[in-house]
């Protein structure tokens, strides 16, 4: 994803740089509505998602309820 | 009409049964009436594995059996009723595992061919799923191309079929405690084919004659399917054709179009169906259909092949298992194209009453009287086109009454376990936590996997619908596959709006918040492995115990029919799931074997079988089990929320 940096006024300061919207504009239509996996474009992004989103199997430092257990 | 309503609850089916009767065409429902089920075989009391038999050892009806009589109730070889029932049961498991395993092997072969560039038309569509497999199989990713990675992944997984020692690689996906248990019990499968072969050997005349041992190795064979053959098939299909994501479509015979060339693809494997979905959109093929007087090409699915292309392309489904002949009865079906599994030979006879062409496409599944046009994966596009052309050529041969029932329903399918994870948390916080939290706080009582076939010995779709309605009414989230999923979709329960109409208040609230139906479609029967993965994710997320057997969850196949269903049931049980089957149960002729399956297995696996033909009663058994697990987890009662102030906190210390 290409991150957009926006400038916003901040109290006591002139302007600050903040991360802009990370969602896509508009609403998906038709078959596009369910296609969430296709949003990940690069291999790095896909691997990052696996490590975080699918951490139950691919996370390196988080193992849910089995974290405390001695591996079988 | 009254007679027909006893056969099915589905209006489209009833309408077609009436038409079949008018047309003088005999279908499966008629054959079920004239061909009575063998009562001895149904209870598992008939042994036909050697030529000294078949030996029938039924329990005497209407009188108590003396110990002496029971001792003498054996086959010619001396095999007891227990051995016979357990042997029959284990053989069913082996047959089901072989069917799923051979499906998985064929997909693996095609996957390797695609990776080598030898199967034009097929490619890696889901890179992320490929990376997922590479990570767990230890395949180097780096800067390698998808095809290079896929070749390594394919070779490693193909070796799983013929592996002789060690254990299946995908067992490592299961909760750690479950893996440990399988190893301790000696039922961790070594290789997919090896477990099937050994089960067939042990059930040969004069080999393993200890019923408990037979059922135990049956578990190992079943696990080789659920965490082996089926899982490999699902994963590689996802890589090649895409991991399912929510897709809208329609279901029932009303999806057929009287003006178009109607083609139904029926069976279980997605390779041909995927290609037909592509070539049926080809302008050249559409033009060819028009040249024959049709408005276009209308491709629909039937049975599990339908589930495969529904979830990935939104292709409509014409119906489930017991509707395969009824699609022909419409008089509007140009061709039924079949691959493997659950294809009734009766379709050829029914097709002779109409103009429909039955086209077999797989070298492993030919039918007398059908046209065989083999699908060649290495020349997939041209091969699919030639099959489709044969269907189009049949359009001018339509004659007689065309009657397509005006019955169809909307559905949302495509809830892979990855998609559920995403839907519950989003791209940056995908998680099963919301599901677990809502189970812990009691909005959701538990989760039930309701799967399996249709069976002409019971009212079509009725048990599926009755059971699932009862479960969701009691706040049990239902996940489904196969023909069972289709039954619920036809009844309109697979759209988000169904939550407000049918679900209990807690489940409805969660469904409304997430935007999901109360009944989730997870795919074809081979995709029951997705249910295992979802259950594992729930365990690993935490808060609901350390093993699948700790979860407030249950499984069912209320209208089961095929041997594959028994295999699925056994791998559910051996994975720790309480599993209820309806219709009949193939060991009821032996109390000992049934007790072992229905009681003793729980002590070993944490899961057990139950048999209950009444779907309402079966649902109650499942809810009872879910409540038992909730109690064991300590989440059966709402706890008072207390806001602690500093003084109270100090007191705690």
Chain A hits for B242, CB-CB cut-off 8 Å, are 37
Q: Which helix (H) or strand (E) holds B422?
A: helix B417-425
- Both tokens of residue B329? 């009865």
Kindly write down the DSSP assignment for every residue of B590-635, as one continuous string. -HHHHHIIIIIHHHHHS--EEE-SSHHHHHHHHHHHHHHHHHHHT-
- SS3 at position B460: strand
- The answer to whether the CB of B622 falls within 8 A of the CB of B476 is yes
**A31 shares contact with chain B (CB less than 8 Å):** yes
State residue A67's pLDDT score.
Answer: 65
Fold of domain B81-241? Substrate Binding Domain Of Dnak; Chain:A; Domain 2 (1.20.1270)
Residue of A nearest to B546 (CA): A65
Note whether B540 contacts A53, CB cutoff 8 Å: no
**pLDDT at residue B561 is higher than 60:** yes
**B546 shares contact with chain A (CB less than 8 Å):** yes
State residue A63's pLDDT score.
Answer: 61
**pLDDT at residue A2 is higher than 90:** no
Q: How far is A47 from chain B (nearest CA, A)?
A: 7
Note whether B540 contacts A69, CB cutoff 8 Å: no
Which residues of B, range 421-450, sit inside 8 Å of A by Cβ?
A: 421-422, 425, 427-428, 430-432
pLDDT digits (tens, 9 = 90+) for B431-464: 999 999 999 999 999 999 999 999 999 999 999 9
- Both tokens of residue B243? 């991991």
Fold of domain B253-397? Rossmann fold (3.40.50)
Q: If you average pLDDT over residues B167-178, what whole number do you get?
A: 96
- Checking phi first, is residue B442 left (phi over 0); if not, alpha (psi -120 to 50) or beta? left
For residue A72, what pLDDT band results from cuts at 50, 70 and 90? very low
Q: How far is A59 from chain B (nearest CA, A)?
A: 11
Task: Indicate the domain borders of chain A.
Answer: 35-60
Indicate the range of A18-22, B118-122, B378-382 predicted with least confidence: A18-22
Which of B135, B183, B247 faces A50 most closely, judged by CB atoms?
Answer: B135
**B496 shares contact with chain A (CB less than 8 Å):** no
Nearest 5°: the CA angle B447, B584, B65 is 125
Report how far residue A53's alpha carbon sits from residue B515's, in angstroms, rounded to the nearest whole number. Answer: 20
Which of A37, A53, A65 faces B539 most closely, judged by CB atoms?
Answer: A65
**A59 shares contact with chain B (CB less than 8 Å):** no
State residue B183's pLDDT score.
Answer: 97
Q: If you average pLDDT over residues B44-73, what whole number do you get?
A: 92
**What percent of chain B clears pLDDT 90, i.e. is strictly above it?**
93
Q: What is the ipTM of this complex?
A: 0.89
Note whether A66 contacts B175, CB cutoff 8 Å: yes
Indicate the range of B260-264, B398-402, B502-506 predicted with least confidence: B398-402
**pTM for this predicted structure:** 0.93
**pLDDT at residue B94 is higher than 60:** yes
Q: Which residues of B324-361 are buried (b: 16+ CB within 10 A; e: fewer)?
A: bbbbbbbbbbbbbbbbbbbbbebbbbbbebbbbbbbbb
Note whether A49 contacts B128, CB cutoff 8 Å: yes
Query: Into which CATH architecture does domain B415-633 fall?
Result: 3-Layer(aba) Sandwich (3.40)
For residue B63, what pLDDT band results from cuts at 50, 70 and 90? confident
**pLDDT at residue B198 is higher than 80:** yes
Q: If you average pLDDT over residues A62-66, what whole number do you get?
A: 65
pLDDT digits (tens, 9 = 90+) for B613-631: 999 999 999 999 999 999 9
Residues 6+ apart with CB under 8 A from B387: B272, B276, B335, B337, B359, B361, B373, B375
For residue B508, what pLDDT band results from cuts at 50, 70 and 90? very high
Note whether A63 contacts B543, CB cutoff 8 Å: no
State residue B653's pLDDT score.
Answer: 63
Instruction: Please give the DSSP secondary-structure letter assigned to residue B50.
Output: S
**A9 shares contact with chain B (CB less than 8 Å):** no
State residue B4's pLDDT score.
Answer: 67
Chain B hits for A31, CB-CB cut-off 8 Å, are 247-248, 314
Q: If you average pLDDT over residues B71-94, what whole number do you get?
A: 96
State residue A21's pLDDT score.
Answer: 83
Question: Where exactly does CATH 3.40.50.2030 map onto chain B?
Answer: 253-397, 415-633
pLDDT digits (tens, 9 = 90+) for B123-153: 999 999 999 999 999 999 999 999 999 999 9
State residue B456's pLDDT score.
Answer: 96
State residue B649's pLDDT score.
Answer: 86
**pLDDT at residue B11 is higher than 80:** yes
**B132 shares contact with chain A (CB less than 8 Å):** yes
Note whether A56 contacts B545, CB cutoff 8 Å: no
Question: Rounded to a whole number, what is the distance in angstroms from the first to the last CA of chain B?
Answer: 74
Note whether A65 contacts B180, CB cutoff 8 Å: no
Report how far residue B573's alpha carbon sits from residue B587's, in angstroms, rounded to the nearest whole number. Answer: 16
Q: How far is A12 from chain B (nearest CA, A)?
A: 32
Which of B136, B243, B540 faces A64 most closely, judged by CB atoms?
Answer: B540
Indicate the range of A26-35, B129-138, B215-224, B479-488 predicted with least confidence: A26-35
State residue A13's pLDDT score.
Answer: 85
Nearest 5°: the CA angle B298, B315, B97 is 120
A2 vs B280, more confident: B280
State residue B651's pLDDT score.
Answer: 84
**pLDDT at residue B49 is higher than 60:** yes
**A62 shares contact with chain B (CB less than 8 Å):** no
Note whether B183 contacts A43, CB cutoff 8 Å: no
Chain A hits for B536, CB-CB cut-off 8 Å, are 56
Chain B hits for A47, CB-CB cut-off 8 Å, are 131, 135, 141
- SS3 at position B135: helix
A54 vs A63, more confident: A54
Reference B488, options B453, B464, B456; nearest CA is B464
pLDDT digits (tens, 9 = 90+) for A26-51: 777 766 677 888 888 899 999 999 99
**pLDDT at residue B48 is higher than 60:** yes
For residue B644, what pLDDT band results from cuts at 50, 70 and 90? confident
Report how far residue B214's alpha carbon sits from residue B81's, in angstroms, rounded to the nearest whole number. Answer: 13
Q: How far is A39 from chain B (nearest CA, A)?
A: 9
**B314 shares contact with chain A (CB less than 8 Å):** yes
Interface with A, mutate which of B126, B129, B132, B415 (most A CBs under 10 A): B132
Q: If you average pLDDT over residues B279-305, what whole number do you get?
A: 96
Reference B478, options B622, B379, B339; nearest CA is B622
Interface with A, mutate which of B127, B128, B532 (most A CBs under 10 A): B128
- The answer to whether the CB of B554 falls within 8 A of the CB of B580 is yes
For residue B637, what pLDDT band results from cuts at 50, 70 and 90? confident
Report how far residue B615's alpha carbon sits from residue B303's, in angstroms, rounded to the nearest whole number. Answer: 22
Note whether B542 contacts A36, CB cutoff 8 Å: no
Residues 6+ apart with CB under 8 A from B26: B20, B349, B350
For residue A71, what pLDDT band results from cuts at 50, 70 and 90? low
Reference B301, options B333, B346, B344; nearest CA is B333
- Both tokens of residue B167? 């254990």
Interface with A, mutate which of B127, B136, B248, B426 (most A CBs under 10 A): B127
Burial class (CB in 10 A: 0-12, 13-18, 19+), B136: middle
- SS3 at position B165: coil
């Amino acid at each position: 994803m290409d991150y957009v940096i926006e400038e916003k006024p901040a109290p006591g300061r002139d302007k600050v740089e903040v991360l802009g919207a990370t969602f896509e504009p508009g609403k998906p239509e038709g078959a596009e509505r369910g296609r969430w996996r296709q949003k990940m474009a690069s291999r790095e992004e896909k691997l990052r998602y696996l490590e975080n989103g699918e951490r139950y199997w691919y996370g390196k430092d988080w193992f849910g309820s089995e974290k405390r257990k001695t591996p079988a | 009409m009254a007679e027909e309503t006893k056969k099915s609850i589905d209006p489209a089916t009833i309408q077609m049964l009436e038409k079949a009767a008018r047309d003088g065409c005999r279908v499966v429902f008629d054959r079920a009436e004239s061909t009575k089920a063998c009562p001895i075989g149904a209870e598992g009391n008939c042994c036909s594995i050697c030529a000294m038999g078949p030996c029938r050892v039924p329990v005497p009806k209407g009188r108590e059996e003396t110990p002496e009589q029971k001792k003498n109730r054996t086959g010619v070889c001396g095999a007891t009723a227990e051995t016979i029932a357990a042997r029959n049961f284990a053989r069913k498991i082996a047959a089901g595992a072989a069917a799923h395993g051979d499906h998985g092997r064929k997909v693996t072969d095609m996957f390797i061919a695609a990776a080598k560039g030898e199967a034009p038309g097929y490619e890696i569509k889901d890179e992320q799923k490929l990376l997922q497999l590479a990570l767990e199989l230890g395949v180097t990713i780096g800067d390698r191309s998808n095809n290079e990675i896929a070749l390594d992944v394919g070779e490693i997984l193909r070796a799983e079929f013929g592996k002789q020692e060690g254990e299946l690689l995908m067992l490592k996906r299961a909760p750690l405690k479950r893996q440990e248990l399988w190893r301790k019990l000696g039922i961790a499968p070594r290789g997919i084919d090896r477990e099937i072969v050994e089960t067939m050997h042990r059930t040969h005349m004069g080999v393993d004659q200890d019923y408990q041992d037979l059922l135990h190795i049956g578990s190992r064979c079943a696990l080789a399917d659920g965490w082996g053959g089926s899982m490999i098939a699902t994963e590689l299909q996802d890589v090649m054709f895409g991991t399912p994501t929510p897709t809208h479509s329609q279901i029932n015979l009303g999806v057929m179009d009287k003006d178009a060339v109607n083609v139904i693809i029926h069976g279980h494997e997605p390779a041909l169906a995927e290609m037909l979905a592509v070539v049926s959109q080809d302008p050249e093929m559409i033009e060819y259909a028009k040249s024959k007087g049709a408005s276009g090409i209308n491709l629909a699915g039937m049975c599990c092949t339908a589930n495969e292309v529904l979830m990935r392309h939104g292709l409509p489904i014409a119906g489930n298992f017991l509707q395969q002949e009824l699609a022909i009865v419409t008089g509007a079906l140009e061709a039924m194209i079949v691959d493997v599994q659950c294809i009734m030979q009766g379709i050829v006879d029914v097709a002779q009453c109409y103009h429909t062409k039955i086209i077999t496409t797989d070298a492993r599944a030919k039918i007398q009287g059908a046209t065989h046009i083999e699908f060649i994966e290495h020349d997939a596009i041209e091969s699919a086109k030639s099959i489709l052309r044969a269907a189009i050529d049949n359009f001018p041969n339509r004659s007689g009454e065309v009657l397509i029932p005006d019955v169809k329903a909307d559905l949302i399918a495509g809830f892979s376990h990855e998609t559920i994870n995403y839907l519950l948390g989003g791209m940056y916080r995908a998680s099963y936590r919301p599901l677990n939290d809502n189970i812990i706080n009691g909005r959701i009582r538990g989760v039930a996997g309701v799967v399996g076939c249709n069976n002409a010995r019971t009212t079509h779709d009725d048990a599926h619908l009755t059971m699932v309605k009862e479960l969701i009414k009691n706040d049990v989230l239902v996940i489904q596959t196969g023909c069972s999923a289709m039954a619920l979709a036809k009844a309109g329960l697979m759209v988000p709006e169904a939550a407000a109409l049918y679900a209990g208040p807690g489940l409805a609230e969660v469904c409304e918040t997430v935007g999901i139906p109360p009944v989730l479609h997870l795919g074809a029967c081979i995709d029951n492995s997705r249910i295992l993965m979802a259950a594992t994710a729930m365990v690993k997320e935490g808060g609901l115990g350390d093993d699948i057997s700790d979860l407030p969850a249950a499984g069912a196949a209320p209208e089961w029919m095929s041997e594959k269903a028994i295999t699925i049931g056994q791998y559910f049980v051996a994975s720790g799931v309480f599993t209820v089957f309806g219709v009949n149960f193939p060991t009821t002729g032996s109390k000992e074997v049934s007790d072992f399956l229905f009681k003793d297995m729980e002590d070993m696996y944490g899961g057990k079988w139950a048999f209950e033909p009444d779907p309402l009663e079966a649902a109650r058994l499942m809810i009872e089990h879910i409540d038992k697990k909730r109690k064991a987890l300590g989440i059966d009662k709402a706890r008072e929320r207390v806001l602690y102030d500093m003084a109270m906190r100090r007191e705690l210390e």
